[in-house]
A = this chain, B = another copy of it.
């Protein structure tokens, strides 16, 4: 039997047919066009789900359930998006609406939690505790404890980007100041890069930005590889912010595995090695086994696999 996993993003809706091992048999996507009425978006999710099943050579009769990873705060029991400000939704009964088109059990999960479940399936197997941290537009994540998503008594938890990093520091998107997200997101890295470019007009980063017609999260990492001092400083400081956030989360949760995802995680060992060194030096736990920090594996597919896993968990 199979599960349909749907990842509802601000730009695209992605859906896949996933087997019980977490393997995607077939997947496809279409644009979200998030300004539309939500019922239109749900209709497209159902159409896409059906298309994915057909194209895979399977039938809906072989599908046990549907999982949908949605941005925002989710009422899992009722399949409702309570609130999302990315795709604007307020008390939207996504599961009920979806079932108008496909008569299968439908389970909703927060998109970051779903991605965490997906990565847990692939690179956290067999552990009792796993934290997934994404470095993207924001800093998000998901917490798996005893093999299950922990998102608080109210479903609003696992906001690991909204731990304090600098008391009274830079304004954060959440309205507070000094959150980890305001320093360790790719958005923040781009800002840090631009600041350094302005201070160091001779830096390679300015040349890179001109060639690429933009500044991205890769700018400092790429120029640092070429020995540019200003770029090295930006990159190393950014990695320190990330590592400090990781230390805080590990001191509180001590998960067996912590996996780093998001675009920046494609930097691989350039990111991971200094984080591990920082962690070895700053971890509170000096006497017990240590959390294993690694780069996540699924990248864009984590949401689809995790949504399918949320469907599986919902049935059990």
Contacts and interface: CB of A to CB of B under 8 A. Distances in A.
Interface of A: 73, 82-83, 127-129, 143, 145-146, 150-160, 162-167, 169, 174-176, 183, 241, 244-245, 247-249, 251-256, 282, 284-291
Given A162-B284, A176-B282, A157 B247 contact: no
Contact of A248 (B82, B145, B155, B164): B164
Contacts of A128: 153
A157 B286 contact: no
Given A82-B287, A153-B128, A153-B289, A252 B160 contact: yes
Nearest to A180: B164
A87 to B, nearest CB: 15
A252 B163 contact: yes
Task: Kindly report how many copies of this chain are found in the complex they form together.
Answer: 2
B252 A289 contact: no
A285 B153 contact: no
Contact of A288 (B156, B249, B285, B289): B156
A275 to B, nearest CB: 15
Interface of A is mostly: loop
Given A152-B255, A288-B73, A165 B164 contact: yes
Contact of A158 (B162, B165, B252): B252
A162 B256 contact: no
A162 B248 CA distance: 7
Query: Which of A82, A153, A289 has the most B CB atoms < 10 Å from its CB?
Result: A153
A129 B254 CA distance: 17
Contacts of A157: 251-254
Contact of A163 (B129, B143, B248, B287): B248
Contacts of A254: 151-157
Given A145-B150, A164-B245, A251 B288 contact: no
Contacts of A256: 153-154
B285 A154 contact: yes
A164 B83 contact: no
A244 B164 contact: yes
Contact of A164 (B146, B152, B164, B255): B164
A15 to B, nearest CB: 27
Contacts of A253: 150, 152, 157, 252
